[in-house]
Amino acid sequence: MMSTTPIVTEMQVIPVAGYDSMLMTLSGAHAPWFTRNIVIIKDNAGHTGIGEIHGGDYTCDALTSVIPLVVGQPIGKYRAILDSIHRASRKSDEDDGEGIQTLDISKLKFVVKAEWAIECALLDLLGQYLGLQMCELLGNGKQRDKVETLGYLFYVSDKEKAQDLPYIDESQSSDPWFRMRRREMLTPEQIVEQAQCLHEKYGFRNFKLKGGVLRGEEEMEAVRALKKAFPNGRINIDPNGAWSLQEAIELCKPMEDVLTYIEDPTGPEAGYSSREVMAEFKNAVKLPVATNMIATDWRQFYHAAALKSVDIVLADPHFWGFDGTIRMAQLLNDWGLTWGSHSNNHFDITLAAFAQVGAAAPGHPTALDTHWIWQDGQNLLKDAPQIVDGYLELSDKPGLGVTIDMDRVMEANRLYNSLSSHDRDDAMAMQYLIPNWKYDSKKPCLVR
Just list the catalytic residues: 210, 342
CA distance 310 to 52: 28
Q: Is 296 strand, coil or helix?
A: coil
Quick check: 329 and 363 in contact, CB under 8 A? yes
Quick check: 208 and 369 in contact, CB under 8 A? yes
**What are 416's strand-pairing partners?**
none
- Alpha carbon distances (Å) from 221 to 12, 92, 208: 48, 42, 14
Those residues whose C-beta lies under 8 Å from the C-beta of residue 21, and which sit 6 or more positions away, are 30, 154, 156, 159, 167, 168, 181, 182, 374
Q: Compute φ and ψ for 299, nearest 5 degrees.
A: -70, -45
Q: Is 49 left (phi over 0), alpha (psi -120 to 50) or beta?
A: beta
48: enclosing H helix or E strand: strand 48-54
Q: How far is CA 202 from the centre of its chain?
A: 18
Nearest alpha-carbon partner for 395 in 430, 82, 403, 276? 403
**What are 381's strand-pairing partners?**
404
Q: Is 142 exposed, middle or buried (0-12, 13-18, 19+ CB in 10 A)?
A: middle
Nearest alpha-carbon partner for 111 in 123, 126, 96, 125? 96
DSSP letters spanning 284-320: H--S-EEESSS-SSHHHHHHHHHTT--SEEE--HHHH
CA distance 1 to 20: 53
